Structure formats: structure tokens, C-alpha cells
Amino acid sequence: MRTCYTGQVCRDHLGQTVTLFGWVHRRRDHGGVIFIDMRDRAGLAQIVFDPDNEQAFAIAEKLRNEFCVRITGLVRERPEGTVNTDLASGEIEILCREVEILNASVTPPFQLDDENLSETTRLTHRVLDLRRSQMQKNLTLRYRVSIEVRKFLDELGFIDIETPMLTKSTPEGARDYLVPSRVNAGEFFALPQSPQLFKQMLMVAGFDRYYQITKCFRDEDLRADRQPEFTQIDCETSFLNETEIRTIFESMIRHVFRVVQNVDLADPFPIMPYSEAMRLYGSDKPDLRVKLQFTDLSDVMKDVDFKVFSQAAQTPGSRVVALRVPGGVQLSRSDIDSYTKFVGIYGAKGLAWIKVNEIAKGREGLQSPIVKNIHDAALQEMLARTGAQDGDLLFFGADRAKVVNDAIGALRVKIGHSEFGHQNGLFEAGWKPLWVVDFPMFEYDEEAGRYTAAHHPFTSPKDGHEDLLATDPAQALSKAYDMVLNGWEVGGGSVRIHREEVQSKVFRALKIDEQEARLKFGFLLDALQYGAPPHGGIAFGLDRLVTLMTGAESIRDVIAFPKTQRAQCLLTQAPSAVDEKQLKELHIRLRQVELAADKK
Amino acid sequence: MRTCYTGQVCRDHLGQTVTLFGWVHRRRDHGGVIFIDMRDRAGLAQIVFDPDNEQAFAIAEKLRNEFCVRITGLVRERPEGTVNTDLASGEIEILCREVEILNASVTPPFQLDDENLSETTRLTHRVLDLRRSQMQKNLTLRYRVSIEVRKFLDELGFIDIETPMLTKSTPEGARDYLVPSRVNAGEFFALPQSPQLFKQMLMVAGFDRYYQITKCFRDEDLRADRQPEFTQIDCETSFLNETEIRTIFESMIRHVFRVVQNVDLADPFPIMPYSEAMRLYGSDKPDLRVKLQFTDLSDVMKDVDFKVFSQAAQTPGSRVVALRVPGGVQLSRSDIDSYTKFVGIYGAKGLAWIKVNEIAKGREGLQSPIVKNIHDAALQEMLARTGAQDGDLLFFGADRAKVVNDAIGALRVKIGHSEFGHQNGLFEAGWKPLWVVDFPMFEYDEEAGRYTAAHHPFTSPKDGHEDLLATDPAQALSKAYDMVLNGWEVGGGSVRIHREEVQSKVFRALKIDEQEARLKFGFLLDALQYGAPPHGGIAFGLDRLVTLMTGAESIRDVIAFPKTQRAQCLLTQAPSAVDEKQLKELHIRLRQVELAADKK
């Protein structure tokens, strides 16, 4: 019934009569003629109502913003000087022959092109907000990503198998969303944090290649880039090794970028061991667009008078690093002060710095509050190792490794993304993917006094590291890998353990005793007994990937109906109170006392 | 690393050395040679271990069922007389050069090809059950259906937009699954029963064409073909009328059957008004493979002596029908007795019948306990109207319309599917799709003393029926349609209401007052105010569609990890008890008293 989308009408239709459906985006009356910018999901086109066509003109006079209309009219060239090159339809206009109001609209609470709406307004009136061209583009791009992923994986023989949403609660990792069972009184389902165990069982069942684009749930305290429910591109394959698995999935991401963004990503992606990423960038997801690196100086600073350096240099688990900032002498004292404040957020107690004015002058050429407490040999080695040039500034971090990595890592990114960074070539625009590999198997949880799984407890140790599980867990590396893009972890996965005895060793290292392991993961351990194949996989965060691709400010801008940071839907008012009858059927009651206490 | 799937090796590979991954399906030792049927998702191939290859032979001796192996060997023709035409690889065998055991297996609790496993055994050991070739085929076919649906809809510009899983509870329709909120104490999310309101809002937002293959949830008492979570192919489009919408989606189903099943469905599908379906088949989802129809006799039986008939004929809301069964005189008294018992399940108090031995003989030629109480004129008209022939049997239903429709409708299907039905040409194999249309807007709920929505309250009345909403709701027909295939409702949808004032009229007819409407559906009513476009859609039950296509006995056979009828997952033991700490965080507690009472 419609000739094409409104936003698609163009020179090709010149002289044709077209029928379009859409919304009144804007109306202008000019010289006795009415102009309507008509809108649909493909864009805008200009409709002209001439008073000679009395019937159509009379209806056009009633049109207001957001009225829904059907238009039939003749496509003609716009008069010279009125061509709009921003629009696909910018060279033409449609002389209306017939118009029908399909539905009127009350006056919207805001203009669709208002760029300064609060998030609350946008989420409360989400249906109107979704009419905005940016939101239309974001969700359309999200769709294109998902369908291209499906096409790519289909070609390679991956099949989409649905795993349950009502699953078993395993109080490990993040908090579960629970669902009380009516039929089984006193028992609860959990919404899945990921289909991890199910996809492994599908491999054991012989499906060979699995994928699913599916919702996962974590009841965490929400941050800017978190939602209670999020979407994962979840993949698993059998009989491939780590390199082969990574090759498939970097090809997938390259395919998506090529088709959807018309961008060719690096081929192959660079690969960096976790230890190197931490050494050079203080981060396991370095933004490689930023052309700055750490220089390790712990060995150099052991015996300097500057206590902050020498103490950190001498303490195991601490480190001293320099961050060389080319051109940094331009930074003012107040710039440095604000950076000092910034690293404080990450626990750094200060921010030492040296401006390298003129190396040839020796100490004289260095401007800094700390130089006097660093002896010549150390200064020399520091300059040599950082490769400092005249005009550079060196920032320093000296503290427990975690504080240094977090603080100087964040500083590195901040400087790179700053106006100064852009002007001084410290930032290279574009897409910088990489694989971070060779993650440690375990992290030590100081509070609990035990190791926890760095990835998850089903991750395979690297070849040759199996014995370390018992003898020196801290040194055991895993076959885990993260795909990092412009400083975001967009995907993560691993080769899994497929032998029951290795799985048991890992549980032992994690101090999960046999009874507990059986209770929580018995069905997986059972499955591993029956000739489980070697297998591994990866999961991509679709929301995050699309946020990155669209350049959206928040993942809420790539989700049709997101929750707020208070985990509420402002459109439908979920969550909400429910009938006592419903609770009774579910064998639960509210904790009244506590609720009352909350209200005080 | 692998040449191809094991089940794909065939004549094309003759003389080649291939590498395969898979499982030991069966082992035979014969004449000093070891034969392995090796299996992967694509099927079986025969591997031969010759004792000349000592190393490989030694490993082969260790192989047991379900061991996971890598094999490298030469593809050669099977010796004459050992060709297996049931297998793609049946003409070849692979002489093993090298074999590696990737993982051993303990002895499985059952043989994979055992056809007599209980459902409990299968669901408890689901991972092994999923290795069975039928389950592999079912889930693969399920995948092909979903990907072909996606490709078809993509071509037509439909875009997949995800709607929330954590939504608002609206205590209407089935019972919700609830999810307690931690952040918002005392409040609950509901898992969606369908994305109905969200997809309508996406149409109002201008996305024009939407689809989603998504999980829906209903906490109902489970029947054989129900699961707590089920998958819907959910679609919606703007600016199309009822016929145009049906045309798109019957094309989609035709596409899927053509590509996945190599079957051409009728083009176009026949269309039948609801009233005719009820009149002729007593069902709104008639199985048209069964060549039997009802004949209405209410007007004929008003004044007969047989009270069962005359009373039903005289009572509004009751009906008298005949079901003519060609060749039915062959049915024995005990056949008829068992049919009488069968219709009793549906509330019929008996099953009157007449065997038409020889029409020419008049009353003499009719064998029946009831003929004596039916006068000549009625007999005559009954024979004429049913078109009875010598050798036919007529069954009768006379009761409230619902009882007649359910009982005689079920009898019709039972006879058609019986051996007798097949032998007498009462059943025509194949695929018989149809659209049932013109559903009533409302059903009267005797208990509640009010009308309820037959489809859902957002369904548009038929053109010209809008006034009936207030004056005679029972007569108002809707723009709802069901797609029926071989007696299964595989999809259902409607054109929606897009004008707020019509929506209000429907709420009034349903006795939902303005305050209640606002509370439950305020966000939809709001959305309709802003130039909502005409729109409509449909949802298909993917589980049901695939069950039908695979000929599976239960939807549990087309779901990887289904729940039992007690809504439990026997594999993972979900649902399960959870920590008190988790409940506390969610501000709920168990109803202990009631739980204790349950246990008595």
C-alpha cells in the first residue's frame, strides 16, 4: 500500500505519484502554502499543500506535530535554493494530492529534536523518546549487529539453542534474581547470570557449535553501564583450541564492523598477555588509542631518598612506574593539581611529576618537587628507560600495584582523551581491538582468605600449568581471553575444563569441597564423566558493543525499554506492589517489620 | 582441524585421508578387526582398526561406548555386502591410521538407542538424552525454523527489538511469575506473559515492523503441551490491514515449510469465520485432515419425543448436531461404547447414534435405540441434511453448545485419527493450514458475571462493529485471527485498537473502569494519544510449531532443557531452597505455617 518509506523518496521517484505513511514532524505555513516535514523510521520528506487542492489543504490546516497521516502526492524537484543536502529526500518534495489523518495527537510534552531532555523525562515518555532519530538509528544498528552475527555464525554451522530462563540459584558470583515457585512451595528459581553451564552441557551433548543471543540477569548495584537484565551473544564450540576459537570470533567482530559500520578492523587483532597489559597500561582492557605507556622503575627506585618511591620499590606487591607524557611541559600547575585530585579517586595519595625542560642541562633541566631526593644514577636510568625528550612531563605512581594500576591507568586514559592529548598526538582516533590472554587462574580474596576464580571455575589452566593448581595457584595461568576494543571489554571467554579430574583440582584450589561442588555443580561434573569433548567459547556484551559502535553515552540509549539506576522502569512503573493473593500462592510474605523500619 | 563432520564422510572422500572428531557409538570386534561406529551431530561413520596398525589397534581395544575420540584415516569403499543404505556414509568406511582418546566415559546409564526410556530417566540424564539422534534432529530443525523466520522477516524490513524480561505485573489473564525487587523493597517485577504492550508501544514509536523470538512465562497448571517458559515468534507491523497482515505471515510459514520441510503448503490458506468453524467442527482449531463435519439439527429436533434432543433444540445456547461417519456401520457395539465413554470426558451425558443400513427401507433400515422417538419428518430431514448413505453411522450431540462442541468435536478427531478412520478414507494425511477469523470480541464469564476479552483487550472490533461494544457486546466481532495447522493453533493475532476512544469503549464493555484501566494500562493509553498508527500483529508458538513439524510426542522433545509437569528441572534440580540471607535481601520470608501444613 505504501510506495516506500518516507525517508527513502528521492530523485528516482521524480514524476511519480507516491503513497506514504508517517508522522508530522514539523509544519510551516509560508506564502499561503503549507509545508510538512513528514517522518517515518527511514527519515524525513517535505510535503507541500497547495491551496488549489482545497480538500487536502483543509485537512493540512488541521495537522499538528505527531499526527499520523497517509499522504498521496506527486514527487517533484524542490525549487532552486531550497535543496537540503542533509536529507536523502533533500532534492525533492511531494505535492500532496490526498491526505488522510490516521490518528491525531495531543501536544507532545517536548520537541523530539530537543537535545537537552533529562533522562527522567526521556524514560517516562519513552514511546516519544524512541521516535527521535538517534534512538531509531541506535536500535536499528543494534538489530543489524545481531542479524549479522547470526548470519556469520549460521555460515559456520553454529546453531542457536535456547537455554532456560528459570534455572537454579548458585550463590557464587553476583546476586541472583529469584523467582518463587508456586508448585514447589518454599523453593525458588533463579534467572540466569549466564547460560555458562548449559552451553557446556550442550557441548557434552554433542551439538558441537552453539550460540544464543540471550538475556542474562544480575542483581547488582547499578552503575552507569549496567542494567539488571543485559544481552549476551553467547557462543561455544567443541574440538578447537584457544587460537582457533579466537580466530573465529575476531572474524565475527570484523564481519560485523565491515557490514554494519563499513570499517575494517585490524586483521589479525594484536594479542597481549595479561601481565604485559598490566605492566604497560595498568589495565586488562587498555585503550590502545591512547599513545602512552607505563615504564617500570621499581628496581631503579629501591635506594632513593624519596621515601614514597623507595618504600613502594622495596615492598612486594607494590610498584613504581612513570607515565611519560610527550609535550607535557605545557601542562600548567593547575592542570597537574587537577590530575592529582583525579588519581586520588583511585586511592593514590599524591602524584609526583618531573617536567623535562632540557635534558642536556642535567638536574638543572628538570623541574620537579621530587628531583632533589632522587640520586643521579636513578635519574639517569629513569630518563633512559622512559626515553624522555625535552618538553616531556613524567608522572609517577608508587604504591600497592592495584592502586598504581588503577590510578595511573585512569590518568593515562584521561590525558589521552583530553584536549591536550588530542592536540599533542597522544590520541589516535579509530578502532583499536586486541586480545588480552594468559589471565591468571585465580585471584586472592584477602577478606575470605582464599583464592577465587579470576574468570569462572570451569576455565582450563594453560598447558603445563595443571600442577601449579596445587603447588602455586597464584602462578597458574588460564586459557581465558578477553576481546578489548578502545578500552572496553566487549567479550570474554575461555577454553573450558573437559576432564573431571582437572575440574576437581580447580575446585580444590578454590577450597570448594567435594560435597559443595556436587551440590552446586553436580550436573556438570556428571556430564564431564561421559566423554566430554574439549570445548571453549566466548560471550559478548551486546549492549556494550552497540553502545561503543553508536557512540551512545549510555547503554540505556541502545535498549528500547531500559531500567533506571534504581532498577525501575519509569514507563510502566515496574517493579510494583502486588496482591496479597499472589504472594500467598507463592508461599511468601513481605518482611513487614523491616519495611516499616526502612520507612523511618 | 577436522575434515568434515563424521556423518558427512561419503564417496566424495574416497581415497582421501580424513580427520574426524566424535564419540564411540558402538564397537564390534569381528575376525580380529575392531569396528567402531563413530558419531557426531551429523551422523555415523564406520571406522576400521586393523591389527597391522599396532599402535592404533592398542588404543582401539580400550575404546568403550561414548568415549570421545579424534580419528585420522583413509576413506575406502566398504566390502561388498556390507553397504548400509540407511547412512549417508553407508558406502564407505575409514581405515584408522591414528586415534586419540580425547576423553573417556564411564558406562552410560542407558543405551542411546533405547526407545523405551521413561521421561524421568531422559530428563534426569538430559545431557546423554540430547545425544540421541532424534533430539539432535529436533533441536537442529528448531534452529532452522527460527533462522529461516529471521531471514524471511529481515527481507521484509522487520527488525528484532528486545523487550524487557523484568516487567510489570498485570493480574489479568494467566498467573504471573514474580521476581522480588531488592532495591525497591516490597515491590515485584513480573516475567512477561507476552511482549504485547511493548510491541504496540514500538509501533507507536514508529519502528513500523518489529519481531522478536522470545521467552514468555505463564505460571499455569501444566498440561502435556505447556511449559512454564515457552518461546514466541512475536511480530507486529504498522499501516497494514487484516488481510495484508495475514498474507505476510502465511507467506512466512509457507517459506519455513518449503525450506525446512521441503513441503509446499496451500497458497493461499483457506479462511474460515469462527462461527463456521464452530458450526462445522465444534472447534476454533479444526483438524481439516479429518473429513467429517457436523450437521446442525436444532431446528429439526424441536418437537421430537426424544427429550434429550427436543430439550436441547428448544434451549437457547444449546444445540443438536449429527456427525456423519461414512462406513460407520462397521463399528461394533463395543466401539460405540468406548466412544460413549470418551465423549463423557467432555461432559456429554450420552452418545446417541443411528446406523444407516438401508435407506430405501425407511425406519426398518435404520438401526438405533433412539429412532422410535423421532418422528418421520425429522428423520427424513436429518437424512437429507446429513447426506447419509447406506453404510453410514450418525452420532449425535445434544446439550449446551459448549458440551456438544467439545464432545463431538473431540469425537470427530478421534474417529478420524483411528485405524477405522484411516481405512475408510476419513483421514487425509498431509498439512492442512487455515485461518480462523471473525472471532467474537468477548466471551461471557458466567462466574464473574461480566464479559472478558476473547483475544485480549487491545483487539480492534471489525469495521461497523464499534457501536455493538455498548449495545450488544455478544454480537461484536473482532479483527482477530488464528493460524491453525492440523488441528493445532500455531499462531494468533489481531489488528489492534489504535484510537484511544475505541480502547475506552472496550474497557467499558469489559467493565474495567477508568481508574483501573489507567493503573494497569496507563502507559499504553498515554501512548495511543500521540498519533498511534494503525497496527496489528501475530505471535506464533515456536515450541508448538516445531513439535508439529518434527512429529514429536511432546513439546519437551523440542526443548533442550524442559521442565516436568511439576515445573521442575530434573537435571539441575531447580527450583531449590535458597539461603535465608538471599530472602532477607529481597525483603520476603517464607510462609512457614502454611509450609508446615502442606507437609502433613
pLDDT, tens digit, 9 for 90 and up, residues B126-155: 999 999 999 999 999 999 999 999 999 999
Residue A224: pLDDT above 70?
no
Taking the CA of residue B78 and the nearest CA in chain A, the distance in Å comes to 26
H, E, C per residue of B456-494: CCCECECCCCCCHHHHCHHHCEECEEEEEECCEEEEEEE
Q: For the stretch A177-216, what's the b/e string if a residue is b when 16 or more beta carbons lie within 10 angstroms of its beta carbon?
A: bbbbbbbbbbbbbbbbbbbbbbbbbbbbbbbbbbbbbbbb
Taking the CA of residue B246 and the nearest CA in chain A, the distance in Å comes to 15
Most confident listed range (A164-178, A533-547, B443-457): A533-547
Which residue out of A166, A167, A234, A565 would a mutagenesis test of the B interface target, given it has the greatest number of B Cβ atoms within 10 Å? A166
pLDDT, residue B260, reads 97
Cβ distance A20 to A9 under 8 Å? yes
Cα separation of B153 and B253, whole Å? 11
| Residue A509: C-alpha distances to residues A457, A515, B483 (Å) | 10, 15, 57
Cα separation of A125 and A66, whole Å? 14
Partners of residue A187 in chain B, C-beta under 8 Å: 575-578
Q: What is the pTM of this model?
A: 0.95
For the stretch B283-306, pLDDT in tens is 999 999 999 999 999 999 999 999
Cα separation of A47 and A24, whole Å? 10
Residue A154 near chain B (CB below 8 Å): yes
Contact check, Cβ <8 Å, A182/B208: no
Taking the CA of residue A38 and the nearest CA in chain B, the distance in Å comes to 12
Partners of residue B594 in chain A, C-beta under 8 Å: 185, 587
Contact check, Cβ <8 Å, B590/A587: yes
Contact check, Cβ <8 Å, A561/B164: yes
Domains in chain B (CATH in brackets) are: 6-103 (2.40.50.140), 290-424 (3.30.1360.30)
ipTM, two decimals, is 0.95
Least confident range from A43-52, A130-139, A502-511: namely A502-511
Confidence tier at A88 by pLDDT (50, 70, 90): confident
Taking the CA of residue A263 and the nearest CA in chain B, the distance in Å comes to 22
Cα separation of A112 and A129, whole Å? 7
Q: Which of B1, B39, B523 sits opposite A571 (nearest CB)?
A: B523
pLDDT, residue B600, reads 42
Contact check, Cβ <8 Å, B577/A186: yes
Taking the CA of residue B388 and the nearest CA in chain A, the distance in Å comes to 48
How many CB atoms are located within 10 Å of the residue B350 CB? 15
- End-to-end alpha carbon distance in chain B: 60
B543 is in an annotated binding site: yes
Q: Which of B187, B201, B207 sits opposite A575 (nearest CB)?
A: B187
- Which A positions 393-432 lie with beta carbon below 8 A of chain B? none
Confidence tier at A600 by pLDDT (50, 70, 90): very low
C-alpha cell at B259: 525450506
Alpha helices in A332-390 (DSSP H): 333-344, 376-386
Cβ distance B238 to B208 under 8 Å? yes
Cα separation of A257 and B280, whole Å? 56
- End-to-end alpha carbon distance in chain A: 61
Q: Give the nearest chain A residue to B146 (CA atoms).
A: A160
Backbone angles phi, psi at A480, to 5 degrees: -100, 150
Taking the CA of residue A50 and the nearest CA in chain B, the distance in Å comes to 24
- Which A positions 221-250 lie with beta carbon below 8 A of chain B? 228-229, 231, 238-240, 244
Task: Work out whether the CA dihedral A131, A135, A136, A139 comes out positive or negative.
Answer: negative
Residue B585: pLDDT above 50?
yes
* Binding site feature residues of A for L-aspartate: 172, 218, 455, 496
Confidence tier at B216 by pLDDT (50, 70, 90): very high
Taking the CA of residue A430 and the nearest CA in chain B, the distance in Å comes to 28
Contact check, Cβ <8 Å, B530/A127: yes
Contact check, Cβ <8 Å, B533/A162: no
* Binding site feature residues of A: 172, 218-220, 227, 455, 489, 496, 541-544
Partners of residue A25 in chain B, C-beta under 8 Å: none
Contact check, Cβ <8 Å, A531/B578: no
B220 is in an annotated binding site: yes
Confidence tier at A86 by pLDDT (50, 70, 90): confident
Least confident range from A223-232, A269-278, B510-519, B589-598: namely B589-598
- Which A positions 25-54 lie with beta carbon below 8 A of chain B? 39-41
Determine how β-strand B433-437 pairs with β-strand B271-273: parallel
| Residue B511: C-alpha distances to residues B358, B478, B508 (Å) | 56, 18, 5
Residue A223: pLDDT above 90?
no
E strand map for B287-409: 294-296, 318-325, 352-356, 366-367, 393-400
Mean pLDDT, residues A16-43: 96
B496 is in an annotated binding site: yes
Partners of residue B132 in chain A, C-beta under 8 Å: none
For the stretch A333-380, pLDDT in tens is 999 999 999 999 999 999 999 999 999 999 999 999 999 999 999 999
Residue A582 near chain B (CB below 8 Å): yes
Share the mean pLDDT of chain B.
95
pLDDT, residue B517, reads 87
How many CB atoms are located within 10 Å of the residue B448 CB? 9
Give me the percent of chain A exceeding a pLDDT of 90: 88
